[in-house]
Amino acid sequence: MVTCRSPKRDPRGLLKHGPRIEVEIGPPIVRTSTGPLSPSFNPSAGGRFSKMPALIDTGAGRTVLTPAAVARVGLRQVDVTRLARAGGINEDAGVFVAAIQFP
């Protein structure tokens, strides 16, 4: 039987940052008959998977990345949408296609 143990975490981190997990974000992966293809791969902007912390929000209707994370991975914008957030503030935000992996 395999036993998995979570790494020790500082309990103050949960209070300060909320529930987080490390994820890998990268360009979308499309499977074709010749193998995986990443159509929005952008080598000049990184164009690879990057590890980063993610805040777990079970009530969120969308996954949101910071502009720095989008630039780091080199994602291509495909649309614009209107977001509503706490405080009743509505704003336009770019829509990007990405692959998210949970290592």
From first to last of its 103 residues, what are the pLDDT tens digits of the chain?
A: 555 555 566 667 666 667 788 899 998 877 777 766 554 444 444 457 899 988 888 888 888 888 999 998 889 899 999 988 777 788 899 999 999 988 7
Predicted pLDDT at 81: 92
Predicted pLDDT at 78: 93
Following DSSP, what letter does each residue of 28-52 receive, concatenated?
A: --EEETTEEE-TT--GGG--S-EEE
Predicted pLDDT at 80: 95
Predicted pLDDT at 44: 45
Predicted pLDDT at 13: 67
What is the end-to-end Cα distance of the chain in Å, rounded?
21
96: part of which helix (H) or strand (E)?
Answer: strand 89-96
**Domains of the chain, residue spans:** 11-101
Phi, psi of 15 (to 5 degrees): -70, -35
